[in-house]
Structure 1
Amino acid sequence: MSLLNRWVVVAILGALAGGAAAQAQSALPGVRPEAELLQPGPAQACPPNDPSDPAITSSLGDRFIAGQHFRETNAARGDVAIAWLGTTFRQRFVSKTEISVVRTTLQPFRLRRAARASEIVAWLGDRGETTLGELWCLLTLQPNGEEGALLTSAVPNLFFVRDRDGRLWTVDVLWGGPGWEIGASAIDGDRPWVAGAQAFSR
């Protein structure tokens, strides 16, 4: 083999090695090539460290019974106004009972681009799963669409919650004017959630 050919072989092998190293580096745990997907916002303690309204903590006993809280109501001022519950949410969640969470901190993330639920869940990782009780706590802070951690514009708030059978679903919460609108859909569905929507994690 001529000296020139040897240099060519060495150069090719070096390039291949460098490419393999770069590929290995991109696969390291904790490295997220899609890190531009979500933008964090201010975290929300729930219940707040110093709640101004005892009603916020009144429903926090040993158990959280979803059917006692998630009901369509023409709520009086101060109660959580729920204008609509989707059929899937009724079927999968209203009969669920959870162990109550004493206090937690929820982290909202804005979608910088449209994404399916499966992609959002993969990005959030282990902390992406929340509970109905945690969602309810946020609703009690904004019972009639007041400003707060939950968006009240025309884009949804997304929570990833296990149903009564232990299956993880997307629960979407939207302020609709007369009250909150709450639905549920499969994590592996084809529906893309719009840029600007907000996903919550612990």
Structure 2
Amino acid sequence: MASKAEQRRADLREKLVVAAESRIDRDGAVALRARDLAGDVGCAVGAIYTAYDDLNALIMAVNGRTFQKLGQQVAASVQGAEAEVATQRLILMSNAYLAFAAENTNLWRALFDLKMQAGDRVPEWYVQALRDLFANIARPVAELFPNDTPEELDLMVRALFSAVHGIVLLGLEQRISAVPLDKIKQMIAQILSQIGG
């Protein structure tokens, strides 16, 4: 059973994640400030650093929640579509990825914009959240390339994710590409429909 101090710390951690998630969603991770968060949750600035080592660790916790939501949306996009060909399921998942990024742009960007030092270790739960997302992609990829080794399949999953991510990133950056959402979907479908043929 947790002590009162441990319970208070856990409660503070949860409040901080909720407040940080709200601020990141609204303003982006670059605008996250300890003083603002302390005001949001009603604690001293120093208390934040008893709950999290630094703001990066707090952003990482928010990112864990974002990865979960993203993974759920991607997985839900192919529920009931098991009879579809593998490339069509990849397109459905990619469209779900695009929709999530478009609807949650600041939270989605925070997944990839986190500043880390060369020696920083990524927490195992964070790596697992990414693995879970990649597992959705891996199933249809394995159908498309049944003779590939696990290492080759893993590389293909990462390559396809990178390709779709790049299209989505540039597509949502209106100043660079100025591609409407429906055209982004078309671009993704054109790329994915060419694989495994």
Normalising by the smaller structure, the TM-score range is: under 0.3
Q: Greater share of helix residues, 1 or 2?
A: 2
Larger RCO: 1 or 2 (CA < 8 Å, sep 6+): 1
Taking structure 2 as the reference length, what is the TM-score of the superposition? Answer: 0.26
Larger radius of gyration: 1
